[in-house]
Structures are given as C-alpha cells and as structure tokens.
Chain A
C-alpha cells in the first residue's frame, strides 16, 4: 500500500474510533436513566423523602434526597473507574497527574463542580420531579453551551457542517423538551423545580466539557476522568453531606441504610453505566473535538427514551418521537463529515 492510501486509512481509523467512543457514551448514558429513575422508589431514599417532606415540604425533601442519591452515584462511579484504571495499569499515571495540580488536575476539580452539584444533581432532581425521559431530553441542549465555550475559549474549530448537525440536534431537543412543557402549561401545573433541574443539567455538562478539555489537552482521559470524580466525591462527602447533617438533616442515618442488596445493586448499576459513559465521552474529545463528541454523545436522549420504553413501558409522546428523529438526523450530518477537515482540530 502506498503512503497516501495508508495516511488516509489511518486518519479515517482515528476519526471513526472517536465517533465510536462517542456512540458508546450515548448508549451507557441512556441506560443510566434506568437506575437513576428506579433508585427514587427504593429505600432508604423513598423513606428519606417521606421523612423530610413531613417536616420541610416536598421541594426541600426532593433536593436533599437528590443530594444523597448524587453522592452515592459519585461514589459508585469512582469505584468503577478505580477498577478500570487498575485494569489498564494506570495508577502510576493517576498519581503523577494528581500531583500536577496547578497546570493540570485543577481543571478536573473545577470541572467536577459543574459536572456534579450542577449537572448530575440537576438530572436527579428532574428525574425525581418529572421523570427519566424528561431528565434525559432536557439536558440535550448542553452541546450549545459546550461548543460555544470551546470555540471562544480555546479556539476549537467548528466546521459549517458540524454546526448544522449540532443545530438540528438542538431543534430535536427543543421539540422533545417543549412538547412536555406545553402539555403541562395547558393543564396549569408546571413542575418548575424539575425544569430548573433540566436546565442545570444542560448548562452544567456543557461547562464541564469545555473546562475538562483544558486539562485533557495534557493528560490521559482515563486518569483525568477519575480525578474529576475524586473531586466530586470530595464535594459531596467532605463538604455538602456533612454541612447538611450539621444543619439537621438525617443524612448519615439514611446513608447507612443504603447497604441493602437491591439498593446497592441499583447504585452499582448506575455507577458502572455512568462511569463508562464518561470514559467514552472523554476518550472521544481528543479524537473528534469537544463539540462533536458532545453532539454524538447526545444520541443518549434517544437511547434513554428507548430503554425507558422497553423497561418501564412508558409510551413517548409524538413530540418525543419527532425530536428523537431530529437528533438522529443531526448526528448523521456530523457523522458524514469529510474526514480531511478533521486532521487538525485546532488552529496553530
């Protein structure tokens, strides 16, 4: 084979690998909404919600319970990732990267602030208040935030075609999001706190991706991502949960009850799917860029709806089907991009 053909083949392989990671991310992310929705009706979270609601009202109960669920989610994700790094033999690199706080790991800790207390907490709030399908599609708008930040902040190129694809995906997201909202508006009872949770998810994940890119430039994704979840665990278990316990919420008594077989199983399932969705997400960025990685990863919205339909039997509205189809088309527009444009993602 001659040089030119080999070069083309290699570049193609790299880009298809990047898209493959992004697609796996979408599947794992979509599945995550199953344990994320189920965990709300399991003890101790169900009892916790009831106990706090009696004293402080539904809204407070939901947020406090969401904090404990998110904290456990962060814990199981971190354990899954530690195992992953062990398998890859990357503990040495993990320690080396963690030590480089100023140039590198600070970006992962900063990303964890937006990813954890903003995006993941927002998602759990949306799941608890409105439902898994809504939580999934509400966050579909995050690539807008991510792509715009990546463009202005470190000059990542967004080709015309990628922009069109991202645009179509966003229109799809708005269709899904708007459909549910309009129905609720006409019936007169809108769960605003749930919608706020959806917006927190969209903004938080967009910002997280753009910030994490700064640290990913100069580190390995498997390692960077584990550090990002170490950061999130510090935020929940060392800062927020103790503060809430001090204020008087029964955080520890309910946290200790989480060690029931079924609850543990669901939490571990959440940890594995979410952990690997992140592994795939972060791996796709250096290969195809933050904007594209997020765009394809966005297919999770569709996967979530399919899985929720299959496992819970919830039949989606027509707006969800139309929106989901638009998401597929948008991703396909990005998929079929001429690969030569992708050889370098950023300007010199």
Chain B
C-alpha cells in the first residue's frame, strides 16, 4: 500500500488519536505505507517527526535509550503526543479526529 497524502500529514493523522506513540512505531508504519525501505528513508521520516515537534505540533513526552537496537542502538528513542496547536494545524490540513 502506498500513501497518497504528504508524509507529515500522515504522521499527524496517526497521532490524532491523542495517544502517545514511540517514534520507531510511527517511522516503521510510514515506511510500510509509503514503501520507503532503508536507513536513508528511515532517518528522513524521523527528521519529519523532529520538525513537527520543533514546530510545536508534537510534544516529546518520554525518552529512553535504545539499548536493544530496535531503532538505532545507543541513540535516544522519543515518545510523542499531539499538542493543541498540532490538532489545530491538522484540522487546517483537512485531517479529522478518528
């Protein structure tokens, strides 16, 4: 299955459930949906999440060290939740609450 909306739209859509999500969960889901395999695409999608967070649309609520190497060994894993501003921007972008 290949996604048909811009990747950042889809990331916001996934987080619109209001629950907390780990970055590696979102990244691997987007990789599957948009058929974007490989480390380059993985980092590129993760950078989209970082940009959304620094734009104030997502909030970084929890971090842990990736000891087991589920994403990138020795790096930080982040858990995100959508902010009110993120919800407002998502509705501007015609995304709906699920």
Which residues of A line the B interface, CB within 8 A?
1, 3, 6-7, 10, 14, 88-89, 92-93, 96-97, 100, 102-104, 216-220, 223, 286-287, 344-348
Contacts and interface: CB of A to CB of B under 8 A. Distances in A.
Contacts of A3: 63-65, 76
A344 B59 CA distance: 9
A100 B76 contact: no
Chain A residues touching B, majority SS: helix
Contacts of B89: 217-218
B10 to A, nearest CB: 9
B54 A345 contact: yes
Given A14-B54, A104-B6, A286-B54, A218 B12 contact: yes
A344 B9 contact: no
B6 A348 contact: no
Interface residues of B, number: 35
Nearest to B51: A286
A217 B56 CA distance: 9
17 contacts: A6-B63, A7-B63, A14-B50, A88-B44, A93-B6, A97-B6, A104-B6, A218-B6, A218-B52, A219-B6, A220-B6, A220-B7, A220-B48, A287-B54, A345-B55, A346-B55, A348-B84
A55 B5 CA distance: 52
The 10 closest A-B pairs by CB, nearest first: A346-B56, A286-B51, A103-B93, A97-B6, A96-B6, A348-B83, A218-B8, A6-B76, A217-B55, A218-B93
A93 B92 CA distance: 19
B4 interface: yes
Nearest to A223: B6
B14 to A, nearest CB: 14
Interface in B1-45: 3-9, 12, 34, 40-41, 44
Contacts of A14: 50, 54
A346 B85 contact: yes
B6 A347 contact: no
Given A345-B54, A345-B56, A348-B59, A103 B7 contact: no
A89 B9 CA distance: 19
A92 B10 CA distance: 14
Contacts of A220: 6-8, 48
A121 to B, nearest CB: 30
Contacts of A218: 6, 8-9, 12, 52, 57, 89, 93
Contacts of B85: 346-348
A182 to B, nearest CB: 42
A220 B45 CA distance: 10
B94 interface: yes
Contacts of A96: 3-7
A216 B40 CA distance: 21
Contacts of B3: 96
A217 B87 CA distance: 12
A332 B51 CA distance: 24
